[in-house]
Homo-oligomer: A and B are copies of this chain.
Amino acid sequence: MPERPILVIGGGPAGLEAARSIADLGYKAVLVEKRDRLGGMPDEAGYAQLTDFRDAGEAMAEMAGAVEACDEVDIRLSSTVTGSIGSVGNFDVELTNGGKPETLQVGAVIVATGFQHFDPGRETQQYGYYEHDDVITLVDLEKMLKAHNVVRPSNGEPPERLCFIQCVGSRDRQIGNEYCSKVCCGVASKEAIEVRQQLPNCKTFIFYIDMRMYGYWENEIYWPAQEKHKVNYIKGIATEIVKKGDRLLVRGEDTTMGRPMEVPMDIVVLSVGMEPSAGTREMARIFGLTQNKYNFIETTGGALSTVTTNVAGIFACGATTGPADLEDSISSAGAAAMKAMATIRKHKDTAA
């Protein structure tokens, strides 16, 4: 019996890294992606630059190209996983491609279905995302930055004052997302730098609770944002956005100065957090994976086990298991590939 391949679900950074890693060691992988192209969220959401300031489209094309060049990887686009039976070493996984069903026989599974951005219209009505044209999200701004066309949606004119509001959909008990989404401080700061580069006359502000610029983001993004690019960081809480004449008025409290604030803005960017994607929730259901209270897939074994799920032979990586930056996704994808191959190898030895 030939060795069964490893199923990788999701064609974003984590899934691409996992699939290529498997191929690099001569194992076979099937990479399933629901969209008709690879590249995942950075491609789908039209990110301008990654947090290392590399062009996101170019980086994702390079990752996708490397996987496409692997004979060992069978890529299935426009396909979704709809069911699974069996256990470690012998999973029969049902797939559909535009209604055309198929059963794949795989030895192990890596779930890399990632996250979705929090919908700021859903529960934080005080920010008026659906009400005010010039209230946008980090993702909306990425698209504008990519197109080199940062303008006020209400009138098509470049903004003179733009601000970010951090922790929208994160660190928020009222909406049930108590966790920190980890990347928004870094992403907002990166976008603020890009705004300042594209529109040097646009005053740019970030309202935050804590700036979580951990590790090298501190020296590579946060300090240059302040010193070189003159981004203004204000520790404060925005409670309301109202329309005032042609502009938006952000109301809240400057917690450092200990006083109320009312600042006019042309564009307000909501730094929306991470939630498990529909695919992540669906794969948890299909494979019987334990989810945490936020519906991300739970890894077992604490800090020393980052990709193992409750089901033997099924591994999870990237933002499938919780808020993750790109480095997290790449490293955990490599680790998941390694563990999935070890599982296949062990099962073959046992079965032999």
Contacts and interface: CB of A to CB of B under 8 A. Distances in A.
Interface of A: 13, 17, 21, 24-26, 50-52, 54, 59, 63, 171, 178-182, 210-219, 223, 255-258, 302-307, 322-328, 330-339, 341-342, 345-346
A326 B307 CA distance: 13
A179 B214 CA distance: 8
Given A178-B223, A332-B331, A59 B21 contact: no
A241 B24 CA distance: 55
A180 B306 contact: no
A342 B307 CA distance: 20
B338 A179 contact: no
Contacts of A332: 331, 334-335
Nearest to A178: B219
Contact of A256 (B179, B211, B256): B256
B338 A21 contact: yes
A244 B333 CA distance: 54
16 contacts: A13-B304, A50-B303, A178-B219, A179-B216, A179-B219, A181-B215, A182-B214, A212-B213, A216-B323, A303-B325, A304-B326, A331-B334, A331-B335, A332-B335, A334-B335, A334-B338
Contact of A303 (B302, B303, B327): B327
A213 B305 contact: no
A338 B304 contact: no
Given A24-B338, A215-B322, A307-B331, 10 more contacts: A21-B338, A25-B342, A51-B303, A54-B302, A256-B258, A257-B258, A304-B330, A327-B328, A332-B335, A334-B338
A302 B330 CA distance: 11
Contact of A255 (B180, B256, B327): B256
Contact of A210 (B212, B258, B338): B212
Contacts of A179: 215-216, 218-219
Contacts of A215: 179-182, 322-324
A178 B303 contact: no
A335 B210 CA distance: 31
Contacts of A328: 327-328, 331
A228 B269 CA distance: 34
Contacts of A63: 304
Nearest to A214: B182
A216 B328 CA distance: 14
List the 4 closest pairs (A to B, CB-CB), nearest first: A334-B335, A52-B302, A24-B342, A331-B331
A151 B282 CA distance: 51
Given A178-B218, A210-B210, A330 B335 contact: yes
Contacts of A331: 306-307, 328, 331-332, 334-335
A43 B325 CA distance: 29
Contacts of A216: 179-180, 322-323
Contacts of A211: 210
Contacts of A327: 303, 306, 328
A298 to B, nearest CB: 10
